[in-house]
Amino acid sequence: MDYSKEVLVVIPARNEEKTITSTLNALDFQTIPPKKVIIVDDGSKDNTVEILKNYKSRNYELIIKTRPERKSGKSVVGTPLLAETFNKGFQICSTFEYDYLLILGADIILEKRFIEKLLVEFSKDSSLAIASGQNILMVTNPMHARGAGRMIDYRFWKYYGERYPVIYGWEDDCLNQCRRIGLKVRHFAKIRYGSLRKAQGTIDFVNWGRAARAMRYHPVIAGMRAIRLSILQRYGIKALVRFIAGYLCSSPPETLTDSQRKNREFMRKFQLIQIPEKIIAIIENML
């Protein structure tokens, strides 16, 4: 493996004073630490920014991008507007040369060799463009790459436009385009990370359901996703009901590019192929 590869990290943060230091420490102690870590503060009202300004890393440069205009706004978690927060960080990344982009949440703790192990997987397969590790609290499809802990090869990222689209399904659009052009998306279960808070505290399940409808999730896939939320990920029956309620709502109006429409059409076909495999996986996990 080429240990000279440079990794940049982008992390959005909003009121993360309880978790952000642990996340940054986990990056600092990586066997292959990132070159730079860009934090986009989305209008924190607590001490997040002060903690960041006083943080000293031994191994990487910490860059802080604040959005003071967002202090009077509500949290955009679960909406397309969150893509804009990420894009502020991606814009800073575009001013540097690098090989891989790692996307994290401000509550994520990586195992010590997380970056190293992902780089090894990329070195094994030149067609691998997006990869992630395993959140210890969740079951993940091996053909998927979760948002937090997602590493992207810069060559694909540049081709994609170096930004997330501000649409429903903004995190998945790049995955679908990656697959559509013949590149690989993978999840590696033995590369681990954890979260310092319970994910259900930040998820709007109605919005998630609406996003699934907008992205043209097949009804069977939507139903299996709701079951997985309720049982396998243990969010409970309330999450299932709210997700289905959101899915049954009319799709929100959006303006899509031709590429984004093709990505959604591809995803629908990709999901249909996976239905038997997903049903088997759910049954196996329930037994």
pLDDT at 3: 66
**pLDDT (mean) for 32-47:** 96
- Could you give phi then psi for residue 191, rounded to 5 degrees? -105, 110
Span 1-22, pLDDT tens digits: 666 799 999 999 999 999 999 9
Instruction: Count the residues in the chain.
Output: 287
218 contacts 271 by C-beta, under 8 angstroms: yes
Q: Give the closest residue to 23 by CA, choosing from 196, 144, 189, 166.
A: 196
Distances (CA, A) of 238 to 172, 205, 242, 285: 25, 9, 6, 20
User: Residue 1 falls within a domain, yes or no?
Assistant: no
Note whether 187 and 89 are same-domain residues: yes
pLDDT at 67: 95
pLDDT at 159: 97
Dihedral sign, CA of 199, 207, 268, 219? positive
Kindly list the strands in the beta sheet with 150-153, ordered across the sheet, starting from the edge strand earlier in the chain: 61-66, 36-41, 7-13, 100-103, 150-153, 128-135, 184-195, 108-110
Note whether 103 and 148 are same-domain residues: yes
Domain end, chosen from 162, 195, 228, is at 195
Q: Give the closest residue to 42 by CA, choosing from 6, 86, 80.
A: 86
Q: Is the pTM of this model over 0.95?
A: no
Q: What distance in Å separates the CA atoms of residue 59 and residue 35, rounded to the nearest whole number?
A: 8
Lowest mean pLDDT among 102-111, 140-149, 187-196, 215-224: 140-149
**Strand extents, DSSP E, the chain:** 7-13, 36-41, 61-66, 100-103, 108-110, 128-135, 150-153, 184-195
pLDDT > 80? residue 274 = no
For residue 163, the 8-state DSSP code is S
Note whether 87 and 23 are same-domain residues: yes
| Residue 174 neighbours by CB distance under 10 Å | 24
Structural domains of the chain, count: 2
pLDDT > 90? residue 183 = yes
Distances (CA, A) of 264 to 169, 180, 243: 9, 10, 19
Note whether 142 and 229 are same-domain residues: no
Mean pLDDT of the chain: 89
pLDDT at 2: 62
Span 128-180, pLDDT tens digits: 999 999 888 776 677 788 888 999 999 999 999 999 999 998 999 999 999 99
User: Residue 200 falls within a domain, yes or no?
Assistant: no
pLDDT at 199: 53
Span 226-251, pLDDT tens digits: 887 777 666 788 888 899 999 998 77
Note whether 159 and 79 are same-domain residues: yes
pLDDT band, very low/low/confident/very high, at 283 (cuts 50, 70, 90): low
User: Residue 74 falls within a domain, yes or no?
Assistant: yes
pLDDT > 70? residue 202 = no
Q: What distance in Å separates the CA atoms of residue 124 and residue 276, rounded to the nearest whole number?
A: 29
Lowest mean pLDDT among 17-21, 55-59, 265-269, 270-274: 270-274
User: Residue 28 falls within a domain, yes or no?
Assistant: yes
Domain end, chosen from 161, 195, 229, is at 195
pLDDT at 279: 58
Percentage of the chain lying above the pLDDT 90 cut: 62
Note whether 32 and 128 are same-domain residues: yes
User: Residue 267 falls within a domain, yes or no?
Assistant: yes
pLDDT at 125: 96
pLDDT > 70? residue 276 = no
Span 98-126, pLDDT tens digits: 999 999 999 999 999 999 999 999 999 99
Tell me the longest C-alpha to C-alpha distance in the chain. Answer: 51
User: Residue 232 falls within a domain, yes or no?
Assistant: yes
Percentage of the chain lying above the pLDDT 70 cut: 91
pLDDT > 50? residue 81 = yes
Note whether 167 and 227 are same-domain residues: no
Note whether 113 and 239 are same-domain residues: no
- Between these two residues, 200 and 22, which has the higher pLDDT value? 22
pLDDT band, very low/low/confident/very high, at 200 (cuts 50, 70, 90): very low
Note whether 80 and 12 are same-domain residues: yes
**Strand extents, DSSP E, 22-161:** 36-41, 61-66, 100-103, 108-110, 128-135, 150-153
Distances (CA, A) of 159 to 153, 178, 255: 10, 10, 21
Q: What distance in Å separates the CA atoms of residue 91 and residue 206, rounded to the nearest whole number?
A: 30
Q: Domain containing 219: what range? A: 205-286
Note whether 44 and 185 are same-domain residues: yes
Note whether 146 and 210 are same-domain residues: no
Q: β-strand 150-153 against 100-103: which pairing, if any?
A: antiparallel
